[in-house]
Structure 1
């Protein structure tokens, strides 16, 4: 499949280019960027032509798909145009800012019979698959709380760099839609949603402790129809951490960067134990995208994942701004 790389704006753009080049079913043919000089440099590095006109890229009959790393505010328009030109779409998270825009994108994708994939990469990881299986098998009894935290220090100021190791534009709400929650928080949001089910309400505090215009230290409390409480945390200004906790009537699972452990009345006499092995990882989001295009394989990452992620983000911004719990019935029902 011949693809065009659309923008090097996001910090993961290089990662997706490398993954595409390593995939035997993908060939990068063109680069476009909303900043032409950056795009020309990237095209030179990749050894492909640069095209400064987005319509020319999307009208090119040799291009079958696009990999999008534009500023988030551009996602909707770029995706609608790509779908109209019958191009398959792979994108960095998040999909867009509102569920209304999500639904516009889904409609355009369906109308033009192309495939859409969002990089919700942790849904392919072995620790997630183990935890999901353990919950399904009842090892934790009735699940009642999920806590997921993802944070790093890349936003902390350095000498001569008030935005730390992150690009300054990551702190621009017009470009990004938000800060730590919108970016890093995407992973805790979609993971928590997967375990807990349909969310009912959101209460969020999005703190800008560094004094920028977006949050760098955020916490969200979500209550779900299942009775599970979700605690979602994200930060650009905390020591590096990833922690996923699942608590139930019969046990708990704790997952950190260093590994996974389970304590359950159904396992090892209720003592903390580390599983001897974890399930095999699923194909990456990009691999799932290609497989769906090539042979119709249904991806593990779903539209509901994308839609629920957007729903929580949209409601969290309202909750913080208005200082109240937001009922998600006000932000769409089931996808």
Structure 2
């Protein structure tokens, strides 16, 4: 049994991860910590587990094997490094950290402690992504030239039920989040495009605000990859009814994914007509299941540290591009 502590209910997915952990027979939630004591105590009562006010007490507790981290992004470096230094396995919400320097520091401690690390990038296990990766790997589209991906919702839009929108107000506190829509919801287009298009080379981004000055509530980034591939990545907290879209374009075909519909037009299949594949690849284990399997030694995770690093690189470059109004080369950040 893997005994875990839940570290903060700050992120909107905290409840989802607690539910996933509860449903896995080889995880036991032992305690809750939260930087907001009132929120943490309430959550601990809901889960019927103890609340611990001191992070150090949680991490030094020998009855805790691992931690599930949904703390503010600005606190990831401190929380995750301390967890690794105490020998705790780590499951963390995206993004890993605000800068590549912080990522390097965290992952250095993870490697030193030889603990299992997992970042929640769930769409890397979805059937549509796996099919898209097959299309790229098998060159069904010829040479890949462009990837476009959009993930958006209306979390910042006022309604009668939620006058301020359904996202929590602290999602617009830049000192905690490090940004707005792009750093959070925009992570999904980023890591999907990174996998499909390769290593990011440069980023030009516009992070715009409609309702929340100081952070972006919708954004678009043009990401340049090797061999001339372009990525157009879009996200929004202010779009109602916007479907998930993933589009791949190549010299010999096009793959379009919208919500649950996948279609491909390829010179290798039927140049004139769309083909709707009947059997998509089987979905992979969830990030949390992959984490458990890694701890138990039964299977290597598919989601990697490199996925986490490149996600932060694009995010950091996008922020610099917005601030400077210029195209940012990834090597500028790495150097």
Normalising by structure 1, report the TM-score.
0.97
Q: Which runs of 5+ in 1 are unaligned?
A: none
Moved more, 263-272 or 168-177: 263-272
Task: Tell whether the 8 Å contact from 1:223 to 1:229 is kept in structure 2 after alignment.
Answer: yes
Task: Tell whether the 8 Å contact from 2:123 to 2:129 is kept in structure 1 after alignment.
Answer: yes
The DSSP-based 3-state class of the residue aligned with 1:281 is coil
Moved more, 143-152 or 231-240: 231-240
Distance 2:36 2:197 in 1: 41
Corresponding residue number in structure 2 for 1:319: 321
Distance 1:226 1:46 in 2: 50
Task: Tell whether the 8 Å contact from 2:172 to 2:212 is kept in structure 1 after alignment.
Answer: no
Distance 1:211 1:96 in 2: 22
Q: Which runs of 5+ in 2 are unaligned?
A: none
Q: Deviations over 1:89-132 (max 9, x none)?
A: 00110000000000000100011111111000000000000110
Q: CA deviation at 1:269?
A: 4.6
The DSSP-based 3-state class of the residue aligned with 1:83 is helix
Aligned length: 333
Distance 2:65 2:162 in 1: 40
Q: Deviations over 1:123-178 (max 9, x none)?
A: 00000001101111111000000000111011112358553111111011100000
The Cα RMSD (Å) is: 1.2
Corresponding residue number in structure 2 for 1:241: 243
Corresponding residue number in structure 2 for 1:212: 213
Corresponding residue number in structure 1 for 2:222: 221
> In the TM superposition, what are the counterparts of 1:47-58 in structure 2 within 5 Å?
47-58=48-59
Moved over 4 A (4+): 159-162
Could you say if the C-alpha distance between residues 33 and 227 of structure 1 is closer, same or farther in structure 2, counting changes exceeding 3 Å? same
Corresponding residue number in structure 2 for 1:79: 80
> In the TM superposition, what are the counterparts of 1:213-292 in structure 2 within 5 Å?
213-239=214-240, 240-292=242-294
Task: Tell whether the 8 Å contact from 1:262 to 1:273 is kept in structure 2 after alignment.
Answer: yes
Moved more, 139-148 or 217-226: 217-226
Distance 1:175 1:159 in 2: 28
Q: Deviations over 1:224-251 (max 9, x none)?
A: 1132100000100012321000000111
Corresponding residue number in structure 2 for 1:113: 114
Q: CA deviation at 1:70?
A: 0.6
Q: Deviations over 1:190-236 (max 9, x none)?
A: 00000111111110000002243210110000111132100000100
Task: Tell whether the 8 Å contact from 2:224 to 2:231 is kept in structure 1 after alignment.
Answer: yes
Task: Tell whether the 8 Å contact from 1:4 to 1:65 is kept in structure 2 after alignment.
Answer: yes
Corresponding residue number in structure 2 for 1:46: 47
Corresponding residue number in structure 2 for 1:36: 37
The DSSP-based 3-state class of the residue aligned with 1:107 is helix
Could you say if the C-alpha distance between residues 249 and 89 of structure 1 is closer, same or farther in structure 2, counting changes exceeding 3 Å? same
Task: Tell whether the 8 Å contact from 2:218 to 2:237 is kept in structure 1 after alignment.
Answer: yes
The DSSP-based 3-state class of the residue aligned with 1:145 is strand
